[in-house]
Structure 1
Amino acid sequence: SVVFPDADLKLYVTASPRVRAERRVDEIGGDVDEVEASIIERDRKDSTRADSPLVEASGSTVLDTTGLDIEAVVSRVLEML
């Protein structure tokens, strides 16, 4: 919403906090419940901060990757392009 406001394709890529936590634990280890709690808190802070809050940009398409693997995400993005 701030970096490329005139981009031809604007995506708001998201996934459930639980799935994001599971992905992170798969990559670097840790406790899924603790990582999920951390993600939820970070999302809250990011979306409520005064400067450049995390929001869906005007005209963006939400891409929920919760049930998708990386290949499916790339495929969806390429279809949109």
Structure 2
Amino acid sequence: MHKKKSPRHKLMPLLLVLSLAGCASKPVAWQPEQVSAPAIPALPKEARQQNSLQWCSPTCSAGLMNERVSWQQRMTELEHQD
């Protein structure tokens, strides 16, 4: 006696092919979106530093800091003498 194959058995290869095709390609929604880096706008004219004067040197601020430290030391020395 020959048994007829049920319709389920005929659909099995079709389901296998469809599931393999679905796994082969990723949907567009799953791919990461390409994002460009944000543009940094230029500072407004009011926020820019002025060009340094010709007679200023890079050690100018360091010299000023040394002067302030010496002033503070002199003031505290005078307080301790009293």
TM-score, length of structure 2 as denominator length: 0.24
- TM-score, structure 1 as length reference: 0.24
Q: Which has the higher strand share?
A: 1
Q: Which has the higher helix share?
A: 2
For CA contacts below 8 A with separation 6 or more, give which structure has more relative contact order: 1
